[in-house]
Amino acid sequence: MNNNFISNLLRFLILILIQVGLFKNMGYYNLAIPLPYILFILLLPIGISNFSLFVIALITGLTVDAFYDSIGVHAAACVMLAWFRIFFHRITLDIDAQESSSTPSWGNMGFKWFGTYVVFSTLIHHTVLFLVEVFSFRNFAYTLFGAILSSIFTIILIFIISVITYRRKSRLAN
Amino acid sequence: MRNLWLFLVRYNAFFLFILFFMFSIVLVIRNNNFQRASFINSSNVVVGSYFEKINSWKAYLALADDNKALLEENAHLRKQLQNFRAIDTTVHVHLVDSIEQDRYTFTVATVVNNSIHQRSNYITLDKGSREGIHPNMGVITSNGVVGIVQQVSENFSTVRSLLHPDIRISVSLDSVSDAFGSLVWGSNTDSRFAMVRDIPNHVKIRIGQPIFTSGYSTLFPKGIKVGHVVEPEVTSGESFKDIRVLLTTDFAKLHHVYVVKDKLAEEKVSLEASHKENE
């Protein structure tokens, strides 16, 4: 448990620092911006209580907001992501798996589950992020286009990070 | 009561989501409407110092470009200085307006954080209230305008860059003519171009014509070059037209900037405010 805490804290620090130091400077105009820091929220232990998950998601969002000068925008998107995460875990994992404290990583869950998880989570997060940032439904298609391009960028980066840190362990789902 | 409790527990994820999401949205709305009075932004000490650290490494990569820009500015200033020295007093009566002479002071600051890929872009500078920087001061480089100071802490300040949808800068088409409009980013995608809005339809504009600040606000001195016209008429049919402008400031390579302090700003603002009260 303690070990789990430290590894999550390290993951938080590394991902946020890379996000604001490196990925913030990358992008194709403002249509496609990569945000792989959401991998931290995706990889929190499966059995984490809903309340702690929401609090951690909010703090992560606010931290990124501080660096992006966009207070509230990333926080809202991360809270939405946390909710989707709860929903996704409930419909795809059985009761035993839902209460384990292991990390829902590629190595633990297998590619099929992890891939779907990452793709849908990223799409939801980015769509909410772009909508809250624009704060209107005007030019909806353009906003959505930006969200999808950014999602592709983020998903590719998340898979690259996952391949680099791949470790095969037990299988909880296929 | 027990049923209500069970209901809340059963769907706790949803209710927690509503609670936290509302909190975030309230933050966003407050931030949009009011002065940004919170500490969660890049002028706070932790965030500012981190960006400063990264910037101290990145600065080496920009040294060559920086030197070139400084040399060019030196050459330009030297040329102006020569003009002042060579004034022929038999032709010109040289009058010095001692109020205008040192009306503006310029504070050099280093950009420690910059973004061009967001919808609303901000810049962080390494000078704050300790160096006499206040909100609502103009920021310029040696060859163009950058933005307006938004918030200051002791050692850092955040600047709303020209690449922000809520920024408008008063500009004129010529350093002498009276046709003026307001400079906005407009396109929201490309950091090299901006738009000048509300130019009267009868004004003739040619491609390549320079655009200058008008000096109507207290933010920027008059006559700073902002950019060149690339597309004279973007929209027509109304009584005003819009112009597409290639900016002289390269936002992707900002490094050193000047913060403009106007000594007469307070006087001008209070005079204009009293005028409004009387109406």
| Cross-strand pairs, B227 | B211, B247
How many other CB atoms sit within 10 Å of the CB of residue B235? 11
Residues of chain B with CATH 2.40.10.340: 45-84+95-161+255-263
- Tokens 């002479």: give the residue: B101
Q: Categorize the per-residue pLDDT at A69 as very low, low, confident or very high, splitting at 50, 70 and 90.
A: confident
Residues of chain A contacting B32 with CB distance shorter than 8 Å:
135
How far apart CA B172 and CA A112 sit, in angstroms, is 60
Residues of B with CB under 8 A from a CB of A: 12-14, 16-17, 19-21, 23-32, 36, 38, 40-42, 44, 47, 50-51, 54, 113, 115-120, 122, 158, 188-191
Size of interface A-B (CB pairs under 8 A): 109
Does B44 sit within 8 Å of A30, measured CB to CB?
Answer: no
How far apart CA B252 and CA B193 sit, in angstroms, is 12
Q: What is the dihedral of CA A104, A109, A115, A121, to 10 degrees?
A: -30
Q: Domain B45-84+95-161+255-263: give its CATH architecture.
A: Beta Barrel (2.40)
Q: What type of residue is B202?
A: H
Burial class of residue A138 in the structure, from the number of CB atoms within 10 Å of its CB (0-12 exposed, 13-18 middle, 19+ buried): exposed
Structure tokens at B31: 């931030």
How far apart CA B16 and CA A166 sit, in angstroms, is 33
| Cross-strand pairs, B241 | B199
Q: Which residue of A has its CA nearest to B52?
A: A21
Q: Which residue of A has its CA nearest to B37?
A: A71
How far apart CA B206 and CA B175 sit, in angstroms, is 15
Q: Categorize the per-residue pLDDT at A139 as very low, low, confident or very high, splitting at 50, 70 and 90.
A: confident
Q: Categorize the per-residue pLDDT at B55 as very low, low, confident or very high, splitting at 50, 70 and 90.
A: confident
Per-residue pLDDT tens over the stretch B149-200: 988 888 889 898 888 888 888 888 875 566 788 888 876 678 888 888 888 8
Q: Which residue of A has its CA nearest to B47?
A: A67
Q: What angle do CA A158, A56, B52 make, to 5 degrees?
A: 70
Q: Domain B169-252: which CATH class?
A: mainly beta
How far apart CA A96 and CA A163 sit, in angstroms, is 27
Residues of chain B contacting A71 with CB distance shorter than 8 Å:
27-28, 31, 36, 38, 40-41
- Tokens 């999550």: give the residue: A8
How far apart CA A95 and CA A116 sit, in angstroms, is 20
Q: Which residue, among A92, A141, A147, has the nearest Cα to A125 in the 3D structure? A: A147
Does B13 sit within 8 Å of A87, measured CB to CB?
Answer: yes
Mean pLDDT to the nearest integer, B53-62: 81
Instruction: Identify the pLDDT of residue A41.
Output: 94
Task: Judge contact between A66 and B40, C-beta under 8 A.
Answer: yes
Task: Judge contact between B217 and B170, C-beta under 8 A.
Answer: yes
- A33 inside 8 A of chain B by CB: yes
Per-residue pLDDT tens over the stretch B194-250: 888 888 877 888 888 888 888 787 788 888 888 888 888 776 566 778 888 899 888
Q: Which helix (H) or strand (E) holds B125?
A: strand B122-125
B160 min Cα distance to partner chain A (Å): 10
Does A82 sit within 8 Å of B40, measured CB to CB?
Answer: no
Structure tokens at B39: 């500490």
Q: What is the mean pLDDT of chain B?
A: 80
A69 closest CB neighbour out of B19, B28, B158: B158
Burial class of residue B88 in the structure, from the number of CB atoms within 10 Å of its CB (0-12 exposed, 13-18 middle, 19+ buried): exposed
Task: Judge contact between B84 and B94, C-beta under 8 A.
Answer: no
Q: Is a pLDDT exceeding 70 seen at residue A116?
A: yes
Residues of chain B with CATH 2.40.10.350: 169-252
Instruction: Identify the pLDDT of residue B35.
Output: 42
Instruction: Identify the pLDDT of residue B215.
Output: 79
Please name the residues in contact with B77: beta carbons below 8 A apart, sequence gap of 6 or more: none
What SS3 class is residue A139?
A: coil
Does A62 sit within 8 Å of B54, measured CB to CB?
Answer: no
Structure tokens at A136: 């209107």
- Tokens 């990358």: give the residue: A26
Instruction: Identify the pLDDT of residue B175.
Output: 54
Residues of chain B contacting A33 with CB distance shorter than 8 Å:
117-118
